[in-house]
């Protein structure tokens, strides 16, 4: 089965990275809307337009399911895409329930882009979990910019995160939830800054598990040679330098996998 992973940029590779380990028989397309990244600074109307254009392209490639591996796009557009298209569409959800289940009496800091932080989707999730008194929200928009240029653990990254997180008394928090897939590249710097008891959680495993549940029965049954095609805003990536850039992102995710 051909499965697409879509993001505004390179954050969604973290979800694909997880899927590669547990779905060995599938054919994957990774689509990064590099012409329009970052989505977090755009209007909801712009993001909806970008996502719809990407969906039309991906469906024309014959995909059987689309993972919107972008919390911002999920917040702004997934509901509309599900109304418009009939194939399985799997969105991202911050791992807030996981955090509250693990530590029901401690606070959780959810970090994301401004669109996700101010969106209805996160508000409804907090209300559904009756977590109004346990959740704080923080936008970290510059992490997307750092990630896109592969500036993963520089002094500038550490300074930015220390400054943005300085006002939080983390003795009161159980965990920090990564509500943007781009943020997965910075787990080591976050681990350096946060107290050891604060867990770093992301929604990648939950998203891939939901993908498996949604496509059960229509996945490939015969193992073959895995193929991954990469696209930047409808353009197939074939240049060796760009493929090497993508491989560097994937190697970084290998390094971040053990950081919690």
> Which position among 96, 180, 253, 256 bears the catalytic label?
180
- Angstrom CA distances, 112 to 13, 15, 24, 42, stand at 17, 16, 30, 14
- The answer to whether 40 and 9 have CB atoms below 8 angstroms apart is no
Question: 176 pairs with which residues across the strands?
Answer: 109, 200
The tokens for 6 are 């879509």
DSSP letter assigned to residue 177: E
* Polymer length in residues for the chain: 260
> Which position among 70, 110, 140, 147 bears the catalytic label?
70
Look up 40 and say whether it is catalytic. Answer: no
Look up 180 and say whether it is catalytic. Answer: yes
What torsion do the CA atoms of 30, 57, 50, 97 make, to the nearest 10 degrees? -50
Residues acting as catalytic residues: 70, 180
């Amino acid at each position: 089965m051909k499965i697409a992973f879509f993001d505004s940029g390179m954050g969604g590779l973290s979800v694909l990275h997880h899927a590669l380990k547990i779905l060995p028989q599938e054919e994957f397309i990774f689509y990064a809307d590099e012409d329009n990244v970052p989505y977090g600074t755009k209007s909801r109307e712009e993001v909806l337009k970008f996502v719809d254009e990407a969906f039309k392209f991906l469906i024309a490639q014959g995909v059987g399911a689309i993972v919107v591996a972008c919390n911002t796009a999920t917040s702004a557009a997934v509901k509309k895409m599900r109304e418009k298209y009939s194939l399985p569409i799997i969105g991202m959800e911050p791992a807030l329930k996981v955090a509250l289940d693990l530590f029901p009496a401690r606070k959780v800091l959810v970090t994301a882009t401004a669109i996700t932080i101010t969106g209805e989707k996160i508000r409804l999730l907090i209300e559904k979990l009756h977590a109004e008194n346990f959740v704080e929200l923080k936008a970290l928009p510059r992490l997307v910019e750092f990630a896109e240029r592969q500036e993963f653990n520089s002094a500038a990254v550490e300074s930015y995160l220390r400054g943005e997180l300085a006002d939080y008394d983390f003795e009161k928090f159980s965990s920090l939830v990564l509500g943007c897939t781009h943020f997965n590249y910075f787990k080591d710097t976050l681990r350096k800054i946060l107290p050891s008891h604060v867990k770093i959680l992301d929604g990648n495993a939950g998203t891939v598990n939901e993908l498996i549940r949604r496509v059960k029965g229509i996945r490939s049954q015969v193992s073959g040679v895995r193929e991954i095609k990469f696209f930047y805003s409808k353009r197939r990536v074939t240049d060796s330098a760009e493929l090497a850039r993508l491989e560097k992102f994937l190697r970084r995710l290998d390094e971040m996998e053990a950081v919690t």
